[in-house]
C-alpha cells in the first residue's frame, strides 16, 4: 500500500512538472540564443535585441506571432531537402512552447537555469584579421525608391602571394545593406571604372576584365546576421600582388530623413593561411534567364535548366537566387541509377532572406548525374511579394522589378588534382547550347581549348566569337593568341592591333602584341609595347622576364638585368628569370 502511494505521488509530481508553463531561463533563452541572437543583439541588424529576459518579455507577443507563422527565424529551405550548417529552424514543439510561454505571461523562471547569452564582439568576430582594408571614401546612399548597387574597390597592396582562409565583411551600416558579394579583380579593371581613385562606381552586373582560365571557386557572400565562413583546410583561395577586391553591395532603397543622406564606408578583414589550396572547387551556375518572360497573371510560370556532370563531384554549398515573383525554388540531381537526390527546396521564396547554404557533409554526385533547377514564378495579384498592382509582364533583368532565376553550386571534383578546366568546359558547352550567340562563352571555350593544347579547334570558336561581337576587344585578343599558337604570327599581330584600337588600355592585348612583334623580329616596336605592358603589370614577374629577354636580344644586358632581378624579387622561385639574370650579369661584365 505504501509502495502504491509513493508511486502515485511520483506520478502526480511528474504531472505537475509537465503542466508547469515554460520559462525564459529554462526553455526560451536557449531557443533565442541559438536561432535569433545573431541578428537580435545590440548594434545588430534587427530592430531590437533579445539577449535579456527584459527584452524578450517586452516582445513576447511579437516573438510568438512571428515564430507561429514561421516568418521568424527566417529560414527558407524545407526540412528533408538538404542538411545545412547554418540551419536556424524551430520545430513544431518549440513553437508551441513559445506560444505557451507567452500565454502564461512570459515567466522568467530561475535565473540560475538560464544559459549565458552569446558574446558578440564589437570588433572582428574571428579575432584581429591579418589584413584590414577600408574603403577610401564613404558612399552617400541616395534617396531612391529603387535598388541601389554600389561597388567599393580595395587594394590589398601585397608584396607576395597570400592564401585566404576567411573573410569578414563589415558593411559600415548593416541596416542599409541588403547583401554583398566580394569579387577578385586580377587585372585592375575596376579601377578604370571609377570617376576618381577610391570613389567606387555603380552597377550590379560587373564586367571586369579577367582571364577565362581564372576560375571562380568560392562564395564570398555577406548578408545581415551572417557569421563569417572559414574555408576548410585545403580550400583557401589565392590573392596575388596587384590584385584588387571589389565589394558589390546591394543597398536598401530609402527616403532621406530631414534631407540628410546616410553614408556607408565598408571594411574587409582578411585571414591568411600558409597552406596553399590542394583542392579546387568551381562555382557552376544553372540558369535560363533567356526564357524569363512571365505574362501578367500567370500563377505558375516555370523556368528550368539541366546540366550533366562529366565526372564524380561533391557539392559543398548552394546559393539560390530569384526576385519578388519567385515562389517555389527546387534544385536536385537525377542519378544514373534513377534515384533523385535533393540539393535544396524552398516552397515559399522570399528574396529578403536569400543566403548561401553550406552542407554539413558534401553531397556526392557521380559522373553522369544531371543537376536540375526548377523555379516556379507567381505573377498573379495573389502573390503578396508582387511589386506590380495590377500585375504586368515581367522579363529578366537586374532590378527587383525584373526577374532572375539562378542556382549556384560550389562543386568539387572528386579526383585528386585540379580538374576545373574539364568541368568548366562541360559547363560552357552547355551554356552555348542555350545561347549559341554568346560571344563571351565562345571566348571562354576557345581559351579552354588552348589550355588543353587544341589550338585548331580554338581558332574556329574564337573566329565565331569575333563574328558575333566584332566591336569587343576580348574576342580579337584571344583570336590573336590562337593564331600565334598555330604559327599564324602575322594574323595574330593584326588581331592584337585591332583589340588595342578598340580599347587602347587593354593591357593583355598590349603584352601579347609585344610578344608577337618580338617573335616577328620587330624589336624596337616590341620594346615600346613591352614598356607599356610592364607599366600596366608592375607586379607580374613573367612580363618583366619577357621584357628582359627582349632587351638581351637587343644587346642591352644591363637594362635586361634590371628586369630579370625585378622578376626574381616578385617570384623568388622563378628559375628561368634566375638563369637569365646570371647570363645578363656575365654579358654586362664583358
- The per-residue pLDDT for 19 is 66
157 & 108 share domain = no
Looking at 224, 253, 273, which one is the last position of a domain? 273
- The per-residue pLDDT for 447 is 95
Q: Which residues pair with 409 in a beta bridge?
A: 284, 318
Is 212 within the bounds of a domain? yes
286 & 267 share domain = no
Closest to 561 (Cα-Cα) out of 589, 537, 535, 536: 589
For residues 526 and 554, the answer to whether their CB atoms sit within 8 Å is: no
- The per-residue pLDDT for 259 is 52
The Cα–Cα gap between 168 and 160 comes to 21
Q: How many CA atoms lie within 13 A of 3 on its CB side?
A: 0
Identify the band that residue 6 occupies on the pLDDT scale cut at 50, 70 and 90.
Answer: very low
374 & 262 share domain = no
Ramachandran angles phi, psi of 251, nearest 5°? -100, 150
- The per-residue pLDDT for 286 is 98
Closest to 302 (Cα-Cα) out of 230, 378, 246: 378
**What is the rounded radius of gyration, in angstroms, for the C-alpha atoms of the chain?**
29
147 & 32 share domain = no
40 & 171 share domain = no
Is 515 within the bounds of a domain? no
Domain region containing 557: 538-590
Length of the chain: 590
269 & 292 share domain = no
70 & 179 share domain = no
- The three grid cell numbers given for residue 46, joined into one nine-digit string: 534587427
C-alpha torsion angle, residues 18, 19, 20, 23 (rounded to 10):
70
Instruction: Output the domain CATH number for residue 314.
Output: 2.60.120.230
- The per-residue pLDDT for 118 is 85
Widest CA span of the chain, in angstroms? 116
Is 390 within the bounds of a domain? yes
149 & 78 share domain = no
The Cα–Cα gap between 271 and 248 comes to 20
The DSSP secondary-structure symbol of 519 reads H
158 & 91 share domain = no
Total structural domains in the chain? 4
Over the stretch 115-160, which tens digit does the pLDDT of each residue have? 988 887 767 889 999 999 999 999 988 776 667 889 999 999 888 8
For residues 366 and 350, the answer to whether their CB atoms sit within 8 Å is: no
The Cα–Cα gap between 429 and 431 comes to 5
What mean pLDDT do residues 80-109 have? 92
287 & 324 share domain = yes
Over the stretch 48-58, which tens digit does the pLDDT of each residue have? 999 999 999 99
- The per-residue pLDDT for 3 is 46
For residue 332, count other CB atoms closer than 10 A to its CB: 19
Over the stretch 186-203, which tens digit does the pLDDT of each residue have? 888 888 888 888 899 988
289 & 267 share domain = no
- The three grid cell numbers given for residue 225, joined into one nine-digit string: 546576421
What mean pLDDT do residues 338-358 have? 94
Strand order in 244-251's β-sheet?
201-202, 148-154, 244-251, 177-185, 221-222
301 & 265 share domain = no
Amino acid at each position: 500500500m505504501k509502495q502504491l502511494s509513493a508511486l502515485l505521488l511520483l506520478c502526480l509530481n511528474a504531472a505537475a512538472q509537465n503542466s508547469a508553463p515554460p520559462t525564459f531561463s529554462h526553455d526560451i533563452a536557449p531557443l533565442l540564443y541559438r536561432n535569433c541572437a545573431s541578428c537580435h543583439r545590440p548594434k545588430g541588424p534587427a530592430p531590437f535585441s533579445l539577449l535579456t529576459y527584459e527584452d524578450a518579455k517586452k516582445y513576447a507577443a511579437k516573438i510568438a506571432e512571428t515564430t507561429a507563422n514561421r516568418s521568424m527565424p527566417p529560414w527558407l529551405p524545407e526540412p528533408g531537402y538538404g542538411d545545412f550548417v547554418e540551419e536556424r529552424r524551430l520545430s513544431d514543439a518549440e513553437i508551441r512552447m513559445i506560444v505557451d510561454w507567452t500565454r502564461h505571461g512570459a515567466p522568467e523562471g530561475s535565473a540560475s537555469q538560464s544559459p549565458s547569452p552569446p558574446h558578440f564582439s564589437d570588433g572582428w568576430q574571428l579575432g584581429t584579421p591579418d589584413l584590414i582594408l577600408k574603403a577610401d571614401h564613404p558612399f552617400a546612399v541616395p534617396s531612391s525608391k529603387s535598388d541601389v548597387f554600389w561597388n567599393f574597390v580595395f587594394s590589398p597592396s601585397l608584396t607576395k602571394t597570400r592564401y585566404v582562409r576567411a573573410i569578414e565583411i563589415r558593411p559600415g551600416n548593416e541596416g542599409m545593406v541588403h547583401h554583398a558579394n566580394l569579387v577578385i579583380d586580377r587585372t585592375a579593371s575596376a579601377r578604370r571604372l571609377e570617376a576618381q581613385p577610391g570613389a567606387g562606381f555603380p552597377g550590379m552586373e560587373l564586367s571586369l576584365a579577367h582571364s577565362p582560365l581564372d576560375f571562380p571557386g568560392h562564395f564570398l557572400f555577406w548578408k545581415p546576421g551572417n557569421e563569417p565562413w572559414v574555408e576548410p583546410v585545403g580550400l583557401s583561395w589565392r590573392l596575388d600582388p596587384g590584385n584588387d577586391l571589389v565589394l558589390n553591395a546591394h543597398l536598401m532603397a530609402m527616403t532621406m530623413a530631414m534631407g540628410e543622406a546616410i553614408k556607408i564606408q565598408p571594411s574587409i578583414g582578411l585571414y591568411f593561411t600558409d597552406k596553399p589550396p590542394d583542392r579546387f572547387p568551381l562555382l557552376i551556375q544553372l540558369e535560363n534567364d533567356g526564357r524569363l518572360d512571365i505574362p501578367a497573371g500567370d500563377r505558375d510560370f516555370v523556368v528550368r535548366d539541366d546540366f550533366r556532370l562529366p565526372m564524380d563531384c561533391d557539392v559543398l554549398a548552394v546559393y539560390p537566387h530569384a526576385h519578388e515573383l519567385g515562389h517555389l525554388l527546387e534544385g536536385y540531381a537525377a542519378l544514373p541509377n534513377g534515384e533523385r537526390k535533393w540539393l535544396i527546396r524552398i516552397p515559399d521564396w522570399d528574396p529578403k532572406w536569400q543566403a548561401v547554404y553550406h552542407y554539413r557533409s558534401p553531397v556526392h554526385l557521380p559522373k553522369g548525374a544531371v543537376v536540375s533547377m526548377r523555379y516556379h514564378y507567381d505573377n498573379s495579384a495573389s502573390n503578396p511579394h508582387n511589386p506590380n498592382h495590377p500585375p504586368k509582364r515581367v522579363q529578366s533583368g537586374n532590378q527587383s522589378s525584373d526577374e532572375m532565376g539562378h542556382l549556384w553550386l560550389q562543386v568539387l571534383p572528386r579526383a585528386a588534382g585540379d580538374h576545373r578546366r574539364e568541368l568548366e568546359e562541360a559547363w560552357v558547352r552547355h551554356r552555348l547550347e542555350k545561347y549559341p550567340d554568346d560571344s563571351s562563352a565562345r571566348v571562354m571555350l576557345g581559351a579552354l581549348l588552348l589550355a588543353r593544347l587544341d589550338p585548331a579547334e580554338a581558332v574556329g570558336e574564337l573566329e565565331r566569337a569575333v563574328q558575333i561581337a566584332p566591336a569587343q576587344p576580348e574576342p580579337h585578343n584571344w583570336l590573336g593568341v590562337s593564331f600565334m599558337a598555330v604559327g599564324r604570327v602575322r594574323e595574330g599581330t593584326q588581331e592584337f592591333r585591332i583589340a588595342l584600337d578598340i580599347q587602347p588600355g587593354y593591357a593583355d592585348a598590349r603584352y601579347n602584341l609585344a610578344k608577337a612583334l618580338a617573335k616577328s623580329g620587330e624589336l624596337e616596336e616590341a620594346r615600346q609595347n613591352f614598356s607599356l605592358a610592364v607599366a600596366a603589370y608592375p607586379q607580374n614577374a613573367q612580363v618583366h622576364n619577357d621584357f628582359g629577354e627582349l632587351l638581351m636580344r637587343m644587346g642591352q644586358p644591363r637594362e635586361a638585368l634590371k628586369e630579370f632581378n625585378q622578376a626574381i624579387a616578385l617570384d623568388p622561385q622563378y628559375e628561368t628569370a634566375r638563369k637569365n639574370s646570371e647570363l645578363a650579369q656575365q654579358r654586362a661584365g664583358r
